[in-house]
A and B are shown apart, each in its own frame.
Chain A
Amino acid sequence: MRGRLNLSLLEIRNVAKSFGAIRAVNGFSLTIEAGEVLGLMGDNGAGKSTMVKLIAGNFPPTEGEILVEGKVCHFHRPLQARAMGIEVVYQDLALADNLTASQNVFLGRELKKVLWPFRILHKQAMIDRSGELFAELKSETRPRDLVRKMSGGQRQAVAIARTRLAQAKLVLMDEPTASISVRQVAQVLELIQRMKARGVAVMLISHRMPDVFAVSDRIIVMRRGGKVADKLTAETSPEEITGLITGAIRAA
């Protein structure tokens, strides 16, 4: 057992979450290792969003445990999850349109320098560092460009660069390819590959079957709040996954 010797990056044990009488997630277990790309699929209302929010720290689970590197973590706020190296790239990317790429990357954790008696923004350092991050992601995004004027793929790069800055160990990506052009989808999938190459675990929540099959190592299917499949991508097919999502195939 690998988990005994070498603690998993994230381990979810029998987690359940209820909102009043509604049980959104029920008996969900999962482990993620560093550098693994995981596809999380499921129909609307299957409990994917709730699962993402549990991991991202929006609320703690009703039952069960979430372990980050072997430590039981029950987050109440996203900032706590972030402190443990878990970052989320939201579907709307959570970028401020009126700021530049580098300003967005460093939003909330700006670098400062001392100009006695003040501590002022260290703009050049932030521009240089975000330039490095974009180079690392091999993105064409320029640090000084306004996000308002960027393409969907460039915006994704900004949101992902933000997680790189934080040295995130696990990045949750909520529908990153839902509303962008085909060419940009390819860019985003490449970005995911690069994160994987750097040992970052990625959890990709998506409706787009081809994208999930293109990048993920493993695919998890959720239905009615529970896990119905956890299969290596190489050992399954889009047909099987579709069947699992709709319930045509009960479990695998």
Chain B
Amino acid sequence: MPPDTEYSAAEHAHIADVVHLTEATWLRSIWTSQPFWVTVALLILVVVMSLTEPSFGTADNAANITRNFAPFGIMALGMTIVIITGGIDLSVGSIMGLVAIVAGLFLTWEYPWYVAFSMGLLAGLLCGAINGFFVAYVGMPSFVVTLGMLAIARSLAVVFSQNQMLYKFGPDAPTVKAIGQFKWPLRVGSGGWAPDWMPEFSGQFWTMIVLGLIVGSVFIFSGWARHLFAIGGNENAARLTGVPVNRIKWQAYVFCSFCASIASILQLGYNGSAINALGTGYELRVIAASVIGGADLIGGAGSAYGAIIGSALLEVIRNALLMAGIDSNWQGAFVGAFIVIAVLLGMQMGGKSIIAAAWERLRTRK
């Protein structure tokens, strides 16, 4: 058909236009993305604090802050995956407590550290598998299922520990502590090579970075993540196109509890002890970090970078308030305000971020 070929030639020119256009939209998509604005807010906060508070901008404080938010960053990676499916996991804090107690008990019974850690991890994964089963295969709301798990896992942690702190870890105690307190790079003073201006980043921090890179690559390159986002966007459509919706949702909850378990084990090693209250209230901070980082509670949006930068922002706010000598009871108010502001900045109005929309309105009024 001759007219057909004519059309397709015209169409090819069109596609070249498209490629040109997408480059502009690529820049715009960064400009309108929530993680971008959170990064800007974080940088401003860091610069202001470094200028006003001499003890803030030190290498030691950098190591301190990154160690403090790493467990939240690790858990926010898992939480982001669950939130992308349109669900939520309220049980991560309790799972931390249970994992720490299970691992702690096995250490107390003088099992080698790897057995203890594996048993803790197994307990955490089991919790996630149960969450995922009821959400994905039974079809219950994730809020209800994980709220139940929040209570159950915490209660089990208290029962198993007989409400005692576990700290007599037997022969492997030094190894456990070495894992938890691992640092890199070490300064010259402590037997390493790093100069004094370099922070000695914690093992937790490096774990978070490695996990973040893995999750980030999975998001960019894998079909699994493509399906994950499709489920969050339109679960019914995903099902109709043959996406294994139930299996992927189940995997999301298992991965979320895997992250909580890893965070718990690292925390256990760092503290050198296990308490059943570990992780109490963490679920809210983890959800807050994910949402600040751009995860959409309706589902279908979120990123690994956002999860980490969101947890970083929360910790820097907390640290800054402490250093500024503000009563720590104010933290909740500030953190809460930042959640609302971050979501507001990332909000889309007619395809533009709310800032771009407001700016345009201001300009046109003049």
Binding site for B on A (CB under 8 A): 78-79, 82, 90, 92-99, 103, 107-110, 112, 115, 118, 120-121, 131, 135-136, 138, 140, 142-144, 149, 162
Closest CB in chain A relative to B123 CB, distance in Å: 30
**B244's closest neighbor in chain A, by CB?**
A108
Instruction: Verify B230–A135 contact, CB threshold 8 A.
Output: no
Residue B362 lies at the interface, judged by CB distance under 8 Å to chain A: no
Residues A118 and B230 in contact, CB atoms below 8 Å apart: no
Identify A142's interface contact among B21, B223, B240, CB under 8 A.
B21
Interface size on B, residues (CB 8 A): 30
Whether B138 sits at the interface, judged by CB under 8 Å, is no
- Distance A206 CA – B332 CA, assembled complex (angstroms): 56
Given A78-B240, A90-B240, A144-B18, does the pair A110, B230 have CB atoms closer than 8 Å? Answer: no
State whether A98 touches B18 (Cβ < 8 A): no
- A9 → B minimal CB distance (Å): 22
Q: Are B21 and A97 in contact (CB under 8 A)?
A: no
User: Is B11's CB under 8 angstroms from A135's CB?
Assistant: yes
**Once bound together, how far apart are the Cα atoms of A131 and B15, in whole Å?**
7
Contact B223 A99 (CB under 8 A): no
Q: Are B234 and A112 in contact (CB under 8 A)?
A: no
Overall SS of chain B's interface: helix
Given A94-B241, A96-B238, A131-B18, A138 and B11 touching (CB < 8 A)?
yes
A107 lies within 8 A of B15 (CB): no
A-B contact count (CB 8 A): 81
Contact partner of B234 (CB less than 8 A), chosen from A82, A97, A115, A143, is A97
Per DSSP, chain A at the interface is loop
Contact B234 A109 (CB under 8 A): no
What residues of B have a CB within 8 angstroms of the CB of A98 in the complex? 229, 232-233, 300-301
| Nearest Cβ on chain A to B247's Cβ, whole angstroms | 13
Q: Report the nearest A residue to B25, measured CB to CB.
A: A144
Find chain B residues with CB under 8 A from A149 CB: 351
Q: Is the CB of B221 within 8 A of A79?
A: no
Which residue of B21, B226, B236 contacts A103 across the interface (Cβ within 8 Å)?
Answer: B226
Contact, CB under 8 Å: B221 / A121: yes
Tell me the bound Cα distance from A202 to B229 in angstroms: 31
Is B18 touching A142 in the complex (CB atoms < 8 A)?
yes
Q: How far is the CB of A15 from chain B (nearest CB, A)?
A: 23
